[in-house]
Chains A and B, each alone.
Chain A
Amino acid sequence: MQKESKLNAENRQKTSGRGSNKVPIGSADFLAPESLEKALDYRKRYGFEATVIAGGTDIMVDYFERLYEVNSWLDLNKIEELKKIEINDEEIIIGATATHKRIAEHPDLQKYLPMLAHASSEVGAWQIQSRGTIGGNIVTSSPAGDTLAPLLAYDAKVVLQSKGGNRILDMSDFFIGPKENVEESDELLTKIIIPKPSENILSRWKKVGKRKALIISSLTMAILIEIDNDGVIENARACYGAVAPTPIEVKNVGDYLKNQKLKEVDAKKVGEIAVAGISPIDDIRGTEQYRRQVTHDLTVNAIKEMAEEI
């Protein structure tokens, strides 16, 4: 006989979504407000009882073969103001239901936020980019979410709106664990605010996955470095996905790089600091050892390449 630990129901063959004995509900509500105000009313009234849906590319997968469990849907697609992308002198404001496709192809975002545009163009494939939204990617809060490391690197803030008012949070304060965040039951994530990057910015985005499309990342990296005219680093942020319970910035990398001349940076040392700052686990997309080694190598290469770029 095998050890008892293996002989439990947890070990049964997993199939997505199955195993619930909930009886199907004949009719659910489908709420599709046309204004944000109305949506916030619903949110207050229904709370977590209503499942918020925008593009649906995550939530429909979560509810694969058990859609009947959803009592009420709150669909955000008819709210025009949530789709807006605005750029002013200081900030770039992206509505929560802007799709990956629009972000990837937006000329200003390609110019100012190339890592985000690039990451958006690598989410799933076209069909997913058509529907999937940046807000959805954030709210799903997967440690591997493709747009999240770039958003952290760009120092993005998220706006959580409710009938009671607004909360503006740093992205890094939004995530609290794998697929967990601080959004309250009466709140909706409505927009993402990103300080407009200065002219002297270098950045590197990299997604590692087991194939080139339709793939959940094994690891993502977004490094942003701001330099002055002498090539001295004024500010740096090294952010990673799928190497910790949430997407993270390794602050020690930024601290280490600050005030150094980019050309003189010890890239290997940066790689070591990056690895020391992550806490990866083994899962089907990669093992801990793999993630540590790749975090190191990608970081070292990125630093070297950026140094060569100036």
Chain B
Amino acid sequence: MEIKFTINGEERTEQIKPNQRLLDLIRKDLGLLSAKEGCGKGECGACTVIMNGEPVTSCLVLAAQADGAEILTVEGLAEGDKLHPLQEAFIEAGAVQCGFCIPGCIMTAYCLLKTNSLPTRQEIRTALAGNICRCTGYQKIVDAVQLAADKMAAGGEG
């Protein structure tokens, strides 16, 4: 079957199978590898992408359900060489260790800052509860989201 959707600002028409997951469409068909498969059951958040403005675990969405949707992955955040403030903040705060969960964390944080431009640490922890990380203990991820919020407030971005 055929679906039309927008991903990282680009309109696409793709032939897909009805039983295919959105995660497989993104990774295998589109070659966007930032979304990772960590559990396949929506329990780790490594495959988080933004669909119609909300973070979703793309392993639990059928590709067919993306028909007409607007999707954003971490590949779509930077503008050329200019990183998004969240990406900069994750680097500056030292929030990255192995990095496997990071694209998903950034996407969830992106949604958070869209709706709550100056979140408290507890609000960040609640928002990111669906993104499991085994390396960082989350603390510097929370630091990074706060730092990004400050950057965006100062730079008027978002």
Contact = CB atoms under 8 A, between A and B. Distances in A.
Interface residues on A, range: 20 to 34
Nearest to B21: A67
A191 to B, nearest CB: 21
Interface string B1-31: 1000000000000000111110000000000
A70 B55 CA distance: 26
Contact of B130 (A16, A32, A214): A214
Contacts of B65: 32, 53, 56, 75, 77
B73 interface: no
Contacts, number: 92
B124 to A, nearest CB: 11
A127 B67 CA distance: 19
A210 B131 CA distance: 17
Interface in A72-126: 73, 75, 77, 101, 124-126
A57 B59 CA distance: 9
A212 interface: yes
B62 A127 contact: no
Contacts of B132: 214
Contacts of A213: 126, 129-130
A130 B22 CA distance: 15
A4 interface: no
Contact of A16 (B41, B48, B108): B41
Report which residue of A101, A125, A128 has the largest number of chain B beta carbons within 10 angstroms of its beta carbon: A125
A30 interface: yes
Interface string A56-74: 1100110011011010010
Contact of B19 (A56, A68, A127): A68
A214 B61 contact: no
A131 interface: yes
A27 B56 contact: no
A155 to B, nearest CB: 30
A130 B56 contact: yes
Contacts of A73: 18, 62, 64
Interface in A194-218: 212-214
B2 to A, nearest CB: 11
B38 interface: no
Interface string B88-114: 000000000000000000001001000
Interface string B116-131: 0000000000110111
16 contacts: A25-B19, A30-B64, A32-B65, A56-B60, A57-B42, A61-B60, A67-B19, A67-B21, A70-B18, A124-B130, A126-B111, A126-B127, A127-B57, A127-B108, A128-B130, A131-B61
